[in-house]
Amino acid sequence: MIVIGMDVGTTRSKVAAMDETGRPQIVLNRRGDPFTPSVIYFEDGRTPIVGAEALAEGFLHPEYVHSCFKRALGSPDGLHTDASGKSYTATGFTQILITDLKQDVEARFNEEVDEAVFTVPANFQDHKKQAMIDAAGAAGIKVVKLVHEPTAAGIAYALQKKRDFRFVVFDLGGGTLDVSILEAAGSEITVLSTTGREKLGGEDFNARIERLVVEQFAKETGYEPTVESDAMFFQELADKAERAKIHLSQKTATKIVAGCQGRQAIVEITRDQFESLTSDLLQDALGCTTQAVEEASLSWTDLDSIILVGGSVRMPAVQSALADLSSIVPHCDIEPDRAVCYGAAQMCAMEFAKQGKAIMIGGRAIPTPQAFVQEVTAYGVGCCVADKDGALRNAVILSKGTSIPTTKTDRFSLLHEDQTEARIEILQGGEGQAYDECLSIGEIVLTNLPVEHKKSKRIEVTYAIDANGMIRATGKDLVGGEQVEIRIDYSKGTTSSKPGRDAA
Ligand code: ADP
Ligand code: MG
């Protein structure tokens, strides 16, 4: 049997399997590489090719190359239409990528993969989590459990350390930042807080270099390349900026040779210059870290270590800024690129053990990692209410940082006594946050309400959140008894129309 953890990254995907000694190991892909670029190229506009081949073969046809689609996961928008008219969404791309990863594992172990643990950023909204589950399902893999990426890295670390301590997981990858505070005590691993940015990662640092090069190029040659007319220039520039950034993690200066429309410019970039061009990104990441510590009701002196996860933590400025902020020297005791998928594979072993499966690898039973993991919600979920002045706000029922799985209930009154219908709009956001600043994730409609000539808290709203962080919502009229339960329908995307809200 194979016990698999899959970390489908914004820029690179990684897979780990438990070995016969009970430890996670990275699964090399069919090329022999430990990581697969999360890139798809449609050869001739129709045949999908994944990973390093996609990058190489798609070089001349940037219009058929798709990357960073994890950021759009769960969106109904089509990103590519092939020659036969078939349209692909980000979820469709993710399915193609997971199918490729599945084939890598099967080629290596000569065994079919039909179950695995998958990871997602902690701040992933529910419809994105659902899209990951759907993409895996469509690729023929049942998601045994969905684990937050920083939690997975924390599991790998806690299982390696085997002692009681509190630590920060700082995960800065290609597209997202996750910061979680965890506590390991005996076999219990508890997430104390989690926060992050859905759009903050290595790609944003690359973009700053790209902008600098375009500006310098225009200054030196008098020609400003545009995405519309110079697609190839930007394709090459993305690659060069990525390399330059990685050089700057080792060296204090590097050069980019840029050519477009028969003109050429050599742009020199120093590490100092790069750090000042990106200082706001780093400040944002540090702000998240401070917030995570505060939300755990801790101060830095309560914390024992900071573990660095994700390729972007190799930037020296990230490490030194975190050390300055915390007075703790952060470390990479587990390889930053691998910690997440290691923890996912370990979690898979734990889930199989919970299901009573004996885990046999290479003909013998492997020791199961012993841990009980307590996860928390990454955002608040409430419903839309009108305040005294009529302004629409979020009344939080499940607050950010609640341990999951859990069920929470609250009661609301109708806006008008003679209402016969109530719409309960489910909002993601903070307590009291204005409606327009929240994300609307679903709606329950209760109809045929008997009129009661007094104001009472007759509408009961219950949110049940499962171990994967997915919500089931129930609305009940305590007077008439009508009850409606929904699993939020993520297939529609989250940009729901704003119906007339006349309730709760
Ligand atoms: P994800 O899981 O989001 O795909 P990874 O954790 O695999 O991301 O990290 C990929 C990111 O790490 C890329 O943006 C890449 O440029 C960056 N990266 C990798 N190595 C280095 C390095 N030495 N210096 C700076 N950034 C790096
Ligand atoms: Mg990652």
- Expressed in angstroms and rounded, the spacing between residue 273 Cα and the centre of ligand 2 is 26
For the packed helices 90-109 and 126-138, what is the interaxial angle rounded to 10 degrees? Answer: 50
Same domain, 381 and 472: yes
Range of the domain at 322: 4-200+282-375
Q: Is the CB of 68 under 6 A from ligand 1?
A: no
Task: Check pLDDT > 50 for residue 490.
Answer: no
Same domain, 42 and 79: yes
Same domain, 386 and 348: no
Q: Is residue 267 in some structural domain?
A: no
Same domain, 359 and 436: no
CATH number of the domain that residue 484 is part of: 2.60.34.10
Ligand 1: which atom is nearest the Cα of residue 201?
14
Residue nearest to atom 9 of ligand 1 (CA): 311
Over residues 7-22, mean pLDDT: 96
Same domain, 51 and 138: yes
Q: Is the CB of 311 under 6 A from ligand 1?
A: yes
Ligand in closest contact with the CA of 174: 1
Ligand 1: which atom is nearest the Cα of residue 11?
4
Q: Are 55 and 68 in contact (CB under 8 A)?
A: no
Task: Check pLDDT > 60 for residue 500.
Answer: no
pLDDT band per the 50, 70, 90 thresholds, residue 300? very high
Q: What is the pLDDT of residue 198?
A: 86
pLDDT band per the 50, 70, 90 thresholds, residue 488? low
Same domain, 356 and 441: no
Give the pLDDT confidence of 70-113 residue by residue, as tens digits: 999 999 999 988 888 889 999 999 999 999 999 999 999 999 99
Over residues 27-36, mean pLDDT: 98
- Expressed in angstroms and rounded, the spacing between residue 107 Cα and the centre of ligand 2 is 24
Over residues 166-180, mean pLDDT: 96
Q: Is the CB of 337 under 6 A from ligand 1?
A: yes
Distance, first Cα to last Cα, the chain: 51
Q: Is residue 440 in some structural domain?
A: yes
Ligand in closest contact with the CA of 35: 1
Q: Is the CB of 210 under 6 A from ligand 1?
A: no
Q: Is residue 37 in some structural domain?
A: yes
Q: Is the CB of 271 under 6 A from ligand 1?
A: no
Ligand in closest contact with the CA of 70: 1
Strand extents, DSSP E, 44-185: 47-50, 65-67, 80-81, 87-88, 115-120, 142-148, 165-172, 177-185
Question: For the chain, what percent of residues have pLDDT higher than 90?
Answer: 78
Higher pLDDT, 36 or 187: 36
Task: Check pLDDT > 50 for residue 502.
Answer: no
Give the pLDDT confidence of 438-477 residue by residue, as tens digits: 988 889 999 999 998 888 999 999 999 888 888 899 999 9
Q: Is the CB of 71 under 6 A from ligand 1?
A: no
Q: What is the pLDDT of residue 41?
A: 96
Task: Check pLDDT > 60 for residue 328.
Answer: yes
Q: Are 38 and 202 in contact (CB under 8 A)?
A: no
What average pLDDT does the structure give for the chain? 92
Same domain, 24 and 121: yes
- Expressed in angstroms and rounded, the spacing between residue 246 Cα and the centre of ligand 1 is 9
Task: Check pLDDT > 50 for residue 146.
Answer: yes
- Expressed in angstroms and rounded, the spacing between residue 15 Cα and the centre of ligand 2 is 12
Higher pLDDT, 283 or 379: 283
Same domain, 111 and 187: yes
Q: Is the CB of 13 under 6 A from ligand 1?
A: no
pLDDT band per the 50, 70, 90 thresholds, residue 498? very low
Q: What is the pLDDT of residue 501?
A: 37
Q: Is residue 247 in some structural domain?
A: no
Q: Is 306 left (phi over 0), alpha (psi -120 to 50) or beta?
A: beta
pLDDT band per the 50, 70, 90 thresholds, residue 338? very high
Same domain, 47 and 181: yes
- Expressed in angstroms and rounded, the spacing between residue 174 Cα and the centre of ligand 2 is 7
Strand extents, DSSP E, 209-274: 253-260, 263-270
pLDDT band per the 50, 70, 90 thresholds, residue 30? very high
Over residues 196-208, mean pLDDT: 95
Q: Is residue 217 in some structural domain?
A: no
Q: Is residue 353 in some structural domain?
A: yes
Q: Is the CB of 14 under 6 A from ligand 1?
A: no
- Expressed in angstroms and rounded, the spacing between residue 150 Cα and the centre of ligand 2 is 9
Q: What is the pLDDT of residue 491?
A: 44
Over residues 286-311, mean pLDDT: 97
Q: Is residue 221 in some structural domain?
A: no
Q: Is the CB of 245 under 6 A from ligand 1?
A: yes
Q: Is the CB of 242 under 6 A from ligand 1?
A: yes
- Expressed in angstroms and rounded, the spacing between residue 298 Cα and the centre of ligand 2 is 26
Mutate to test the pocket of ligand 1, among 11, 69, 120 (most ligand atoms within 8 A of CB): 11
**DSSP structure class, residue 170:** E
Residue nearest to atom 2 of ligand 1 (CA): 9
Q: What is the pLDDT of residue 496?
A: 31
Residue nearest to atom 19 of ligand 1 (CA): 311
Sign of the CA dihedral 29, 33, 37, 41?
negative
Contacts of 69 (CB under 8 A, 6+ apart): 38, 40, 79, 90, 93, 94
Q: Is the CB of 66 under 6 A from ligand 1?
A: no
Question: For the chain, what percent of residues have pLDDT higher than 70?
Answer: 97
Mutate to test the pocket of ligand 1, among 67, 312, 340 (most ligand atoms within 8 A of CB): 312
27-36, 68-77, 366-375, 442-451, range with greatest mean pLDDT = 27-36
Same domain, 309 and 295: yes
What backbone phi and psi angles, to 5 degrees, belong to 69?
A: -75, -10
Mutate to test the pocket of ligand 1, among 6, 7, 8, 12 (most ligand atoms within 8 A of CB): 12
Same domain, 296 and 369: yes
Q: Is residue 263 in some structural domain?
A: no
Ligand 1: which atom is nearest the Cα of residue 175?
3
Domain C-terminal end among 313, 341, 375: 375
Q: What is the pLDDT of residue 105?
A: 97
Instruction: Please give the Cα distance from 486 to 444 (Å, whole number).
Output: 7
Q: Is 231 left (phi over 0), alpha (psi -120 to 50) or beta?
A: alpha
Ligand in closest contact with the CA of 241: 1
Domain C-terminal end among 375, 404, 439: 375
Same domain, 311 and 418: no
Q: What is the pLDDT of residue 155?
A: 96
How many structural domains are present in the chain? 2
Whole-prediction pTM value?
Answer: 0.90
